[in-house]
Amino acid sequence: MENTTNPGVKPGEPEISRCCNISTAHISPETNNLLLESIENQEELPIFLPKKVDGEIYGFIFLITGYDDVELSSTPADLCACLEYAANLNCDMLMLDCDSPVVDDLPTYAWP
C-alpha cells in the first residue's frame, strides 16, 4: 500500500520523525508547575508526556503534528512560542529538557 502522507517512505519501512530539543529554560517556572499539575490532575493540554529519569521528571515531550487543531487559548504564551518554534522547524515533536541547549531565538526565564 502506498504511503500517501509521506510518499518518500517505502512500504514496510517506518516513517522517521524530527524532534526539536530545547532547554526548559524557555518556559517559566509557572508554566513548568502548570505542566506538572496537569500530569497529577490528568488535565488536557497540548498532547505531551513527562520525560522521566529514575522516576524524576526532567522535562516534557510534546507532539507537534496537528497541534494547530488543538485549542491553545489556555496554553501559556511561553509554551506556545516553543511549540511554534518547533513547528516552524518542521519538527513533529518538541522535547523540553533541562539538559538541552538554550537557543537564541526564544526568550529564557529565571529559575530558582
Looking at the DSSP bridge assignments, the partners of residue 30 are: none
pLDDT at res. 37: 85
Q: How many other C-beta atoms lie within 10 A of the C-beta of residue 48? A: 20
Question: Which cell is 51 given?
Answer: 520525560
Q: What is the pLDDT of residues 43-76, one digit of tens each?
A: 655 567 777 777 787 888 888 876 555 566 778 9
Question: Which cell is 35 given?
Answer: 505542566
Q: How many other C-beta atoms lie within 10 A of the C-beta of residue 108? A: 15
Cα(41)–Cα(32) distance, rounded to whole angstroms? 14
Q: What is the pLDDT of residues 17-41, one digit of tens each?
A: 899 999 999 999 999 998 888 877 7
Name the pLDDT band for 93 (thresholds 50, 70, 90).
very high
Residue 81 sits at φ, ψ, to 5 deg, of -60, -40
Where in the chain are the domains? 19-97
Cα(112)–Cα(99) distance, rounded to whole angstroms? 16
Question: Which cell is 85 given?
Answer: 518554534
What does R_g of the chain's alpha carbons equal in angstroms? 15
Cα(87)–Cα(75) distance, rounded to whole angstroms? 16
